Structure 1
Amino acid sequence: MNVLEHVYTATFAMLGAGVLFTLVRLVRGPSVLDRIICLNALSVLVVSSIAVEVAVRGDTAYIGLMVTIALLGFVGTLTAARFAERRAHDRG
């Protein structure tokens, strides 16, 4: 194994730990906004994992998938935050 393979392995391990911690926070989050932020962080971690996989393989076929997941995560977060804001406004 060369140094770059060790870097890729360490990067995947750190991204996996990030996903694990994010999933724990998603389950235990005390509010809806915490869960929305966790879903956004999860989409960022998935896109980052795909980017590392693209770097490992040297194949750019997954770039469109990365952009699609990033856009869906962004739009989903905006929609959920707007829904949560309206819900809080109706209660208050």
Structure 2
Amino acid sequence: MSPLIINSIYLLLTLALLFSFIRLAKGPSLPDRVVALELITAIVTGIVGVHAIDSGVTAYLDIAIVLALTAFLGAIGFARFLERGGPRDD
């Protein structure tokens, strides 16, 4: 791929990451923050994938897969937490 396309992809992913961090900091509720955190991990996975394509090192794809699976397990854990009643004020 041409360097112009790769650099524009990095720029767009970085902007998306910035907006996700803003939502993570501002998010009015806990589920909003968790969704923003999931989005951040998806964007970082995309950045690692683009870097793997750019550099030609396929080992980075393994890192992207592990990161995506870890984020998925975190989402499942949060869903179970909310299913059982969420935070309590006891």
Regarding TM over 0.5, the answer is yes
Given that 1:33 and 1:81 are in contact with CA atoms closer than 8 Å, whether structure 2 keeps it comes out as: no
Q: What TM-score, normalized by structure 2, do the two folds share?
A: 0.89
Unaligned segments of structure 2, at least 5 residues = none
Cα RMSD (Å)? 1.7
1:48-90 CA distance string (max 9 Å, x none): 00010011111101121111100000110111122123225x7
Rounded to whole Å, the distance in 1 between the matches of 2:67 and 2:40 is: 11
Question: How is 1:65-76 mapped onto 2 (pairs within 5 angstroms)?
Answer: 65-76=63-74
Give, as a single letter, the amino acid of the residue that structure 2 aligns with 1:30. Answer: P
Q: CA deviation at 1:29?
A: 0.3
Q: Give the corresponding residue for 1:5.
A: 3
Larger relative contact order (CA 8 Å, sep ≥ 6): 1
Size of the alignment, in residue pairs?
88
Q: Give the corresponding residue for 2:21.
A: 23
Question: Deviation above 3 Å: which 4+ runs of structure 1?
Answer: none
Rounded to whole Å, the distance in 2 between the matches of 1:46 and 1:6 is: 20
Rounded to whole Å, the distance in 2 between the matches of 1:83 and 1:63 is: 30
Unaligned segments of structure 1, at least 5 residues = none
Q: Percent identity?
A: 30
Q: Which has the higher helix share?
A: 1
Q: Give the corresponding residue for 2:47.
A: 49
Q: Give the corresponding residue for 2:85.
A: 87
